[in-house]
Structure 1
Amino acid sequence: MAKAFASQGDLTEKKITFDEVGRGLWAFTAEGDPNSGVIIGDDSVMIVEAQATPRLVSKVIEKVREVTDKPISHVVMTHYHAVRVLGASAYGADQVIMSDVARAMVVERGQEDWDSEFQRFPRLFEGHESIPGLTWPTTTFSDSMTVYLGNRRVDIKQIGRAHTAGDAVIHVPDENVIFTGDIVEDHSACYCGDGHFNDWGGTLDNILAYDVDAIAPGRGGALMGKDAVKGAIASTRDFVNSTYAPAARVAARGGSLKEAWDAVREACDPKFSDYAIYEHCLPFNVARAYDEARGIDTPRIWTAERDIEMWNALQA
């Protein structure tokens, strides 16, 4: 490669925060690294997003133990990406939950995604030798399911394609809080390499329809209050649209991937260059936007080899 991926040089330890977003609901965040959520029920705890390795999970468990000694009974994954799921075994949960679509994506591309992400983001795989293998759910759902943690109701639902085809959100009605996974980000770039740009806006509209009081997003800080929620949804929408539109214009006139890259940078750099993981995501976002604009509905599988091929084309 002409130079390394930006994520390969991102070796700085991030500051962890642990914010209560509702009664017994917590957001584990780390300056743009993948977030996890904590839902404390009457007798047990549900975790949203597992982190990339068992060693990183230990940091989440440490925070959980500061607020409750209840056992962790459920882990819910909003989608299939390696940095979200490969640490799940460390929780020792009775149930590991994904949508049917997310499980199918583990079957189709889980190992390739692991290899790709491991190559380009080594810091997030601290302690990778402790990963026992691909994470498989014990429980799946086709549209929605409800879990009761004692009297606390937790609704898990697919509300549209966005970050991946298998995205799910987790809503806790008694506090009107939603865990969105990577459908919504706060001052962090969206990773769109497996995304569906033309569907993303409608899915954001579906989140808006919940009219929640707080969001624990996929990356970035906890969003407390309706103004913060609406602001993050708006900025996520702007990021997605600002990435897709320039790439689509280049694709429509038969331009190259490199031309799409230049066009997206011109549109997005002034607005988003200070966002967390912006440079990390950008090449993958441009490649996917360019593909979707050319009629490729199902995102092509990223492999370690394809990553390098794409990066070299952009650096030429």
Structure 2
Amino acid sequence: MAKTFASQGDLAEKHTSFTEVGDGVYAFTAEGDPNSGVIIGDESVMVIEAQATPRLARKVIDCVRSVTDKPISHLVLTHYHAVRVLGASAYGAPQVIMSDAARAMVVERGQEDWDSEFGRFPRLFQGHEEIPGLTWPTTTFSDSMTVYLGKRRVDIMQLGRAHTAGDAVVWLPDAEVMFTGDIVEYHSACYCGDGHFADWAGTLANIAGFEPVAIAPGRGDALLGRARVAEAIANTADFVESTYRPVAKVAARGGSLKEAWDSARAVCDPKFGAYAIYEHCLPFNIARAYDEARGIDTPRIWTAERDREMWAALQG
């Protein structure tokens, strides 16, 4: 059981990788830290996920510069979480794209999320002094939009609620590669604290329906080949279901949040206990699952104070 709050004890630097997952398509991964993606078009570059700070964003930019000198014209943010978006200022002035729903969540809870995540994961916010403020999109969309990087088509879509209500995916038809944000993870715990458990499996099925030959997940290694893609999608679905099912049973009989915690751990620990950020995510996941099982459809806003109260109640 974790002895320190969230990931405050996770101070080790992570090794980063920059993997080509298609022709001119790359995944920036970092041993369970948030991933980014890169698509090189005819005349410019699209980056998916900004990282948590400008300092971390510059690591992605350095990787881009190792393969192309084309300007970064587009930055896609798959959802609103601080660890994904607050490094945006490092990219200059690209077109910043979010779903309408994700932007609405910045309005509703962006500052609270920043404050909360800063307390949970201080290593990811090294250099936070450079962050100029909340990240706002310059372009939003409902359902889907298409961007052309010259002749290269990029489809940005909402395929359903999962990790948040505003999740977007990025699909590159010519390479059959998808960037899923935190809807899909690989050997990393899913963070479900702002999630929608009942919808998640259907959203994963919608992703599988594209039959991608490669996926860059939100966390974990790039997934190359349809077999590995299918494995990761199935494993993500199992993680979400294994978290929710025991919690829902406890909630249905009027049991307490602490009882739900014990029940979920009994199921999840043997299967997922070694995954990256597992102990970090589990209390937030169980609290959200408990709320959803009791009919609370919109996730309650996490604040730094609520984080600590919940953690103390569950961890002791």
**TM superposition score normalised by structure 1:** 0.99
Shift of 1:111: 0.1
Residue 232 of structure 1 is matched in structure 2 by 232
Residue 189 of structure 1 is matched in structure 2 by 189
Shift of 1:93: 3.4
Residue 248 of structure 1 is matched in structure 2 by 248
Shift of 1:126: 1.0
Residue 145 of structure 1 is matched in structure 2 by 145
**Structure 2: where are the runs of 5+ without partners?**
none
Shift of 1:3: 4.7
Please, which moves more after superposition, 79-88 or 3-12?
Answer: 3-12
Matching of residue 41 in structure 1 with residue 41 in structure 2: yes
Residue 216 of structure 1 is matched in structure 2 by 216
Rounded Cα–Cα distance in structure 2 between residues aligned with 1:251 and 1:27: 39
> What pairs up with 1:269-288 in 2 under 5 angstroms?
269-288=269-288
Rounded Cα–Cα distance in structure 1 between residues aligned with 2:9 and 2:120: 9
Shift of 1:24: 0.4
User: Are 1:75 and 1:93, in contact at CA under 8 Å, matched by a contact in 2?
Assistant: no
Residue 118 of structure 1 is matched in structure 2 by 118
Shift of 1:4: 2.5
**Secondary structure class of the residue paired with 1:308:** helix
Shift of 1:288: 0.3
Deviations 1:94-131 (A, max 9, x none): 30000000000000000000000000100010100000
**Secondary structure class of the residue paired with 1:249:** helix
Rounded Cα–Cα distance in structure 2 between residues aligned with 1:142 and 1:76: 14
Rounded Cα–Cα distance in structure 1 between residues aligned with 2:235 and 2:100: 29
Rounded Cα–Cα distance in structure 1 between residues aligned with 2:240 and 2:207: 16
User: Are 1:74 and 1:95, in contact at CA under 8 Å, matched by a contact in 2?
Assistant: yes
User: Are 1:33 and 1:219, in contact at CA under 8 Å, matched by a contact in 2?
Assistant: yes
**Secondary structure class of the residue paired with 1:236:** helix
Shift of 1:92: 1.0
Deviations 1:21-40 (A, max 9, x none): 00000000000000000000
**Secondary structure class of the residue paired with 1:148:** strand
Residue 90 of structure 2 is matched in structure 1 by 90
**TM superposition score normalised by structure 2:** 0.99
Count of residue pairs brought into register by the alignment: 315
Rounded Cα–Cα distance in structure 2 between residues aligned with 1:315 and 1:145: 43
Identity among equivalent pairs (%):
79
**Structure 1: where are the runs of 5+ without partners?**
none
Residue 26 of structure 1 is matched in structure 2 by 26
Rounded Cα–Cα distance in structure 2 between residues aligned with 1:67 and 1:95: 21
Rounded Cα–Cα distance in structure 1 between residues aligned with 2:315 and 2:278: 17
RMSD (Å) for aligned C-alpha atoms:
0.9
Please, which moves more after superposition, 3-12 or 103-112?
Answer: 3-12
**Secondary structure class of the residue paired with 2:123:** helix
Residue 15 of structure 1 is matched in structure 2 by 15
Q: Is the alpha carbon distance of 1:157 and 1:315 closer, same or farther for their aligned partners in structure 2, counting shifts above 3 Å?
A: same
**Secondary structure class of the residue paired with 1:9:** coil
